[in-house]
Amino acid sequence: MAKQNIFDVILKTINDVQTKNKANPREETADPSVFDLLKGKLQQLDENSKLKRASRGKSPNSILDLIRKEIQGTQRENKKDPNVKTAPGSVFENILKKVNQGPQRQASSGIRKIVEDYNINISRLPHNVIQQVQQNYVKDRKNFDQQYAKAIIDLVKRH
């Protein structure tokens, strides 16, 4: 199975959320222009990432962070635009859930591997404690990955 581009997955998610939003009689239907704006911003972000512009002295951002910022920026724009009715918050929340699934899945499997490798019995831990450990793992993993990205960018600049 071919690996899907994260942008393709998110764009498909946007289409799915739009379809579900339109079909849900209990939720106000968001203006189609909101989805078009969001798709346009993410497609532009995809194009920019394909140009492989290196950060200049800035701390590198993951593509997921950039996607989150675009989604949140679109939500803010939608709220401020007097010509377009504000979309229900669930529209943006459902799209962000998909963006956040990858790191959450990584955290879950990472914690599970640690538990197995070190033969740790976590059966007595409350679920909320395990979730907190996963959140810390996600944060630590992001910082770790960001440090490596910065080091690789520095190497690329030197060579």
Condensed to tens digits (0 to 9), the pLDDT of residues 96-138 reads: 999 999 888 989 999 999 999 999 999 999 999 999 999 999 9
Distance in angstroms (rounded) separating the CA atoms of residues 139 and 136: 5
Per-residue pLDDT tens over the stretch 50-72: 665 544 545 667 888 899 999 99
Nearest to residue 142, comparing CAs of 71, 69, 73, 60? 60
pTM value > 0.75 = yes
Cα atoms in the 13 Å half-sphere on the side-chain side of 126: 3
pLDDT at 3 over 60: no
* Helices of type H across the chain: 6-23, 32-50, 63-80, 89-117, 127-158
Six-digit token pair at 89? 């918050």
pLDDT of res. 48: 81
Across 15-19, 58-62, 87-91, least confident range: 58-62
Dihedral sign of CA atoms 134, 110, 61, 95 in order: negative
